């Protein structure tokens, strides 16, 4: 060992001090790790909480994304926000846009297969104005919670708000019609002129011939819809001109603008059970058609008229002293090859039940024979069919059944199918016949001969008076003076008679004013009768001329 090494070993213990452990500094270093650990725990708890409280994510398909913005557009139920739109994308087929939205957890129970979504925007329809609040706050997506038990997260949005929400009390019914008319979604439903519901939807059937309408009737008015209730169009103004005159019907000003439907239960069926949800009904074209009493027995008959049937239409009533007992079914003309005459054939539907109490709808041979016997007996008493004018305003005709005891004997032709009932000329035809008889009698009067005979009679009377005057002159020269005074009185009387006869002769002469005026008067009377005949024929062909006047000649 060298000297140097020995010196180093001897000096080492005294030069290097011992290390001292600082316990306090080590504890401070460990506390630093608590901050990230706590942050991690808080973050995990927030993540777990967010995961636990996270609501469902849904997708809604709309035809257009107008008014929808990602991160801004809200989803509301009863005006309470329950979600927010996350994103908007265009569908792969480019036919729609897909809206993805996050909903609150409590909204999960609302997502059923019949849940509906729509965009709330300002809308103005014929019956209401809605969505005006979105002019300042912006559009939002409305929701109507469904009642189905099937859950769903993908929906197809509505293009317009639903007319009726799921929680509105009432019932829906289905109506079937051949024509929708002026009806549309939102058209009102009326009961005794009170609005009680609306049209929910309308669809065309696959056959293309009928239309299906879904209507909603609010509670408590839905209890008045029974199994026998009748529905009919109450759209616009029902203006009708027929044999019964002019009729104007309307439910309300709203129905004139938007159309509408009315319903009523016939009095005979007020105790019928209430209609269940979704029951099917027929929608009639008008109230008259809906309330028409159904007849179990319908008999067809033929009426043959030799007069004009202008103004008679299919559906015109068959009237028996003010009671409608049938209606006109067909109108046609028939040519008789033998007589070369054209007759007008009118087929009618006759409802015999309206002439007797409703008892049985049986149509067996016995009841049919009894009906034939009854009609045969009525015809023997003058039962006939006649055309009458229902209204001078419209010029429409109807068939009137009544008894005419003075009518010519007739019988029902049961050999023809349908049977032929006897008829009688109408009032207008009878008027024309009477007028023609008067004209014919006037034309047959020998006016010239009567005037000549009167002239001869006056001449003979003049000769007689002259002879009497000569006789009186002879007597005046031979009679005694006592009788002269009497004869002078007789002469004065004869002179007055002679003057009167002279005036009569002057009056009865051919060129006398009286004779001329008489002939002119008779000619005018003949022309007036001829004009009345022409007028009667023209009114029969054109009854509307009483209101409109004679048509102008456009040549």
pLDDT at 507: 62
Task: Flag whether pLDDT at 505 surpasses 50.
Answer: yes
Predicted confidence band of residue 450 (pLDDT cuts 50, 70, 90): low
Q: Which residue has the higher pLDDT, 166 or 18?
A: 166
Contact 505, 458 (CB under 8 A): yes
- The reported pLDDT for the residue numbered 363 is 47
If 0-12 CB within 10 Å is exposed, 13-18 middle and 19+ buried, where does residue 112 land? middle
Separation between Cα atoms, residue 10 and residue 1, nearest integer Å: 13
Q: How confident is the model at residue 358 (pLDDT cuts 50, 70, 90)?
A: very low
Kindly indicate the confidence band of residue 121, based on its pLDDT and cuts at 50, 70 and 90.
Answer: confident
Which residues 6+ apart lie within 8 Å of 81 measured at CB? Answer: 74, 75
* Number of neighbours of residue 324 by Cβ within 10 angstroms: 15
Provide mean pLDDT across the span 127-137. 64
Question: Percent of the chain, pLDDT > 90?
Answer: 14
Confidence (pLDDT) at 255: 52
Contact between residue 168 and residue 101 where contact means Cβ atoms under 8 Å apart: no
Residue 230: closest CA among 297, 173, 315: 173
**pLDDT reading at 516 higher than 50:** yes
More confident residue, 106 or 494: 106
What pLDDT, on the 0 to 100 scale, is given for residue 511?
Answer: 66
Would you state the structure tokens that stand for residue 502, as one six-digit string?
């002279």
Task: Report residue 359's pLDDT band, with 50, 70 and 90 as the boundaries.
Answer: very low
When pLDDT is averaged across residues 89-107 and rounded to a whole number, the result is 91
- Residue 353: band (very low, low, confident or very high) from pLDDT cuts 50, 70, 90: confident
pLDDT band for position 117 (50/70/90)?
A: very high
Q: pLDDT grade, residue 85 (50/70/90)?
A: very high
Q: What is the pLDDT of residue 4?
A: 52
3-state class (DSSP) for residue 379: helix
pLDDT band for position 458 (50/70/90)? Answer: low
Pairing state between β 383-389 and 397-403: antiparallel
Distance CA 465, CA 189 (A): 99
Q: Is it the case that residue 169 has pLDDT exceeding 70?
A: yes
pLDDT at 455 over 80: no
Q: In whole angstroms, give the CA distance from residue 168 to residue 222.
A: 12
What are the tens digits of pLDDT across the range 182-191?
788 888 899 9
In which band, very low, low, confident or very high, does the pLDDT at 555 lie, cut at 50, 70 and 90? very low
Which residues touch 366 (CB under 8 Å, ≥6 apart)? Answer: none
The residue whose two tokens read 């006056």 is: 458
The CB density around residue 289, as the number of other CB atoms within 10 Å, is: 11
Mean pLDDT for the stretch of residues 160-187: 86
pLDDT at 163: 79
Mean pLDDT of 399-426: 86
The answer to which of 72-81, 333-342, 449-458 has the lowest mean pLDDT is 449-458
Which 3 state secondary structure label does DSSP give 238? strand
Quick check: 512 pLDDT over 60?
Answer: yes
Does residue 347 surpass a pLDDT of 70? yes
On whether the pTM is more than 0.85, the answer is no
Say yes or no to pLDDT of 175 above 60.
Answer: yes
217 pLDDT more than 90: yes
Q: Which residue has the higher pLDDT, 357 or 424?
A: 424
CA atoms within 13 Å, Cβ hemisphere of 195: 13
Each residue of 241-298: pLDDT tens digit? 555 555 655 555 555 556 789 998 887 666 778 899 999 999 988 887 787 766 667 8
Q: Find the length of the chain.
A: 555
Instruction: Give pLDDT, residue 155.
Output: 93
Mean pLDDT value of segment 148-155: 89
Phi, psi of 419 (to 5 degrees): -65, 155
Confidence of residue 98 (pLDDT cuts 50, 70, 90): very high
Instruction: Choose the most confident range, by mean pLDDT, from 111-120, 317-326, 386-395, 411-420.
Output: 111-120
pLDDT over 80 at 45, yes or no: no
State how far the alpha carbon of 192 is from the alpha carbons of 4, 168, 200, 250, 252, in Å. 132, 22, 20, 12, 11
Mean pLDDT of the chain: 76
Q: What is the pLDDT of residue 265?
A: 87
Q: Range with the lowest mean pLDDT among 180-189, 299-308, 315-324, 364-373?
A: 364-373
């Amino acid at each position: 060992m060298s000297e140097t090494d020995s010196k180093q070993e001897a000096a080492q213990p005294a030069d290097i001090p011992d290390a001292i452990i600082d316990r306090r500094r080590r504890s401070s270093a460990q506390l630093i790790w608590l901050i990230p650990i706590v942050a991690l725990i808080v973050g995990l708890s927030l993540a777990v909480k967010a995961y636990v409280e996270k609501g469902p994510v849904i997708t809604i398909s709309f035809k257009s994304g107008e008014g929808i913005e990602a991160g801004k557009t809200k989803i509301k139920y009863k005006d309470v926000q329950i979600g927010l739109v996350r994103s908007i994308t265009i569908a792969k087929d480019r036919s729609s846009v897909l809206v993805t939205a996050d909903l609150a957890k409590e909204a999960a129970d609302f997502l059923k297969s019949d849940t509906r979504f729509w965009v709330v925007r300002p809308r103005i329809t014929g019956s209401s104005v809605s969505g005006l609040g979105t002019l300042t706050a912006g559009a939002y997506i409305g929701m109507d919670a469904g009642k189905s038990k099937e859950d769903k997260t993908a929906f197809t949005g509505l293009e317009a708000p639903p007319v009726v929400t799921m929680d509105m009390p009432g019932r829906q019914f289905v109506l079937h019609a051949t024509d929708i008319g002026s009806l549309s979604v939102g058209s009102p439903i009326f009961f005794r002129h009170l609005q009680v519901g609306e049209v929910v939807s309308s669809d065309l059937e696959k056959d293309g011939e009928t239309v299906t309408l879904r209507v909603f009737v609010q509670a408590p008015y839905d209890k008045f819809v029974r199994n026998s209730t009748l529905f009919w169009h109450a759209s616009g103004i029902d203006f009708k001109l027929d044999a019964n005159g002019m009729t104007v019907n309307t439910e309300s000003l709203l129905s004139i603008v938007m159309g509408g439907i009315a319903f009523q239960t016939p009095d005979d069926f007020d105790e019928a059970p209430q209609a269940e949800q979704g029951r099917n009904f027929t929608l009639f074209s008008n109230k008259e058609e809906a309330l028409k009493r159904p007849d179990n027995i319908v008999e067809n008959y033929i009426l043959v008229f030799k007069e004009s049937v202008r103004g008679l239409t299919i559906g015109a009533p068959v009237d028996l002293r003010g009671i409608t007992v049938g209606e006109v079914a067909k109108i046609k003309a028939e040519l008789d090859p033998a007589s070369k005459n054209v007759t007008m054939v009118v087929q009618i539907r006759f409802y015999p039940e309206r002439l007797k109490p409703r008892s049985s709808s049986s149509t067996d041979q016995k009841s049919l024979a009894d009906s034939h016997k009854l009609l045969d007996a009525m015809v023997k008493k003058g039962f006939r069919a006649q055309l009458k004018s229902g209204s001078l305003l419209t010029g429409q005709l109807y068939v009137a059944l009544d008894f005419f005891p003075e009518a010519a004997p007739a019988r029902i032709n049961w050999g023809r199918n349908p049977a032929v009932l006897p008829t009688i000329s109408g009032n207008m035809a009878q008027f024309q016949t009477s007028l023609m008889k008067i004209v014919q009698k006037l034309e047959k009067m020998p006016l010239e001969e009567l005037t000549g005979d009167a002239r001869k009679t006056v001449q003979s009377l003049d000769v007689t008076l002259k002879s009497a005057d000569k006789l009186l002159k002879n007597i005046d020269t031979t009679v005694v003076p006592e009788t002269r005074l009497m004869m002078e009185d007789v002469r004065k009387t004869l002179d007055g008679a002679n003057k009167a006869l002279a005036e009569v002769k002057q009056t009865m002469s051919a060129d006398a004013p009286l004779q001329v005026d008489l002939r002119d008067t008779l000619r005018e009377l003949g022309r007036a009768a001829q004009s009345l005949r022409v007028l009667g024929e023209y009114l029969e062909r054109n009854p509307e001329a009483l209101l409109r006047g004679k048509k102008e000649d456009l040549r």
